[in-house]
């Protein structure tokens, strides 16, 4: 699991790559722990899944924890660019009704800015 | 000339077994082994992906619950094709016995503030396969057996 962070305007962008299984979730959890320390209140975050080939409940757990934390700081987090099998896992978990999921990064950037 | 399905021309093993330490980094090997076997048997791509999810979640439970990530402990994954054209995957560990009925069923419709992930793995495995059952073997092992019908065209999974 690799995670690349960047910034576009006032939006933080994370591009994830690889498998978000138990091992990948451990990497992501460590990353989010450090990433959260650097965030300001009302953070807008886009997480790109374009290179995520697979996700399990272990990966969902990490994303849900990050989402709750960002929301508690008055910010929000949206997801984008998922392959069909990754999106199906979100649907299995009912998380497609919790997360805003956009088809493309451009739509996600527009969408997240409009939320707050 | 009609294309010959790969499963008809590739000699298929009857059963494959992999024994792995309870190391999260090696979990992918169990998934790949089962998926490769499923592909060789002619299972459709989406069904292979769903089976991968089921195997991953059950093996994750072995690693985290049965063995508490102790990499000196091992679990076993066996995959075979049944005579009635199901792929049958068994995951065995030497952890403490449990009752499937005791695993909480997560409420996937509750709001974010109340949302828990516990129990989601088992729910995924149930959704992603046609049958799932648990038994404690006479040898003192936990054995989860999953069956998924081998269909070249994946069926729509019920969310």
Rounded Cα–Cα distance for residues B10 and B138 (Å):
36
Could you please report the per-residue DSSP string of A45-64? EEEEEEEEEEE-HHHHHHHH
Other CB atoms within 10 Å distance of the CB of residue B64: 15
- Higher pLDDT: A24 or B109? It is A24
Helix (H, G, I), strand (E, B) or coil at B130: coil
Region A7-20: mean pLDDT is 96
pLDDT tens digits, one per residue of A47-79: 999 999 999 999 999 999 999 999 999 999 999
Helices and strands in chain B, H and E counts: 4, 5
Give chain B's domain count: 1
pLDDT above 50 for B105: yes
pLDDT above 50 for A108: yes
Please provide residue A100's backbone torsions phi and psi, each rounded to the nearest 5 degrees: -85, 125
Is B24 an interface residue toward A (CB < 8 Å)? yes
Residue B96 belongs to some domain of the structure: yes
Residue B1 belongs to some domain of the structure: no
Q: Of A57, A84, A98, which is closest to B57 when you measure between CB atoms?
A: A57
ipTM above 0.95, yes or no: no
Say if CB B87 and CB B79 are below 8 A apart.
yes
pLDDT tens digits, one per residue of A76-104: 999 999 999 999 999 999 999 999 999 99
Pairing type for strands B131-136 and B142-149 reads: antiparallel
CA angle B27, A89, B30 (to 5 degrees): 15
Region B79-106: mean pLDDT is 92
Residue among A18, A26, A12 nearest A109 (CA): A12
Residue B157 belongs to some domain of the structure: no
Question: How does DSSP classify residue B155?
Answer: P
Residue B16 belongs to some domain of the structure: no
Q: How confident is the model at residue B57 (pLDDT cuts 50, 70, 90)?
A: very high
- CATH code for the domain of B60: 3.30.565.10
- Which residue in this structure is represented by tokens 């924890």? A65
pLDDT above 90 for B153: no
Is B69 an interface residue toward A (CB < 8 Å)? no
pLDDT tens digits, one per residue of B16-37: 999 999 999 999 999 999 999 9
Residue among B77, B66, B74, B65 nearest B118 (CA): B65
* pLDDT computed for residue B140 by the predictor: 94
Range of the domain at B45: 23-149
- Which residue in this structure is represented by tokens 């999921």? A101
- Domains of chain A from N-terminus onward: 2-110 (3.30.750.24)
* A-chain residues near B117 (CB < 8 A): 57, 60-61, 64, 93
Q: Of B49, B121, B123, which is closest to A85 when you measure between CB atoms?
A: B49
Helix (H, G, I), strand (E, B) or coil at B73: coil
pTM of the model: 0.90
Q: Of A19, A58, A94, which is closest to B28 when you measure between CB atoms?
A: A19
């Amino acid at each position: 699991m690799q995670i690349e962070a960047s910034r576009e305007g006032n939006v933080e962008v994370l591009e994830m790559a690889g498998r978000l299984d138990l091992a990948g979730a451990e990497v992501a959890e460590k990353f989010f722990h450090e990433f959260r320390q650097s965030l300001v209140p009302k953070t807008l975050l886009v997480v790109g899944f374009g290179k995520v080939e697979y996700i399990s409940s272990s990966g969902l757990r990490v994303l849900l924890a990050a989402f709750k934390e960002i929301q508690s700081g008055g910010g929000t987090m949206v997801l984008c660019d998922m392959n069909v099998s990754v999106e199906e896992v979100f649907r299995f978990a009912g998380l497609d009704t919790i997360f805003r999921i956009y088809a493309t990064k451009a739509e996600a950037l527009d969408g997240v800015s409009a939320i707050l | 000339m009609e294309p010959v399905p790969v499963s008809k021309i590739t000699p298929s093993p009857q059963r494959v077994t992999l024994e792995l330490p309870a190391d999260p980094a090696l979990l992918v090997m169990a998934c790949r082994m089962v998926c490769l076997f499923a592909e060789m048997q002619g299972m459709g791509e989406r069904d292979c992906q769903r089976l991968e999810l089921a195997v991953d979640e059950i093996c994750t439970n072995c690693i985290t619950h049965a063995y508490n990530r102790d990499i000196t402990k091992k679990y076993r994954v066996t995959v075979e094709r049944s005579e009635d054209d199901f792929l049958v995957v068994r995951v065995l560990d030497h952890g403490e016995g449990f009752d499937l009925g005791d695993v909480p069923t997560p409420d996937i419709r509750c709001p974010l503030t109340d949302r828990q992930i516990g129990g989601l793995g088992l729910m995924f495995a149930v959704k992603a396969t046609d049958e799932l059952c648990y038994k404690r073997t006479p040898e003192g092992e936990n054995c989860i057996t999953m069956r998924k019908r081998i269909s070249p065209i994946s069926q729509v999974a019920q969310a």
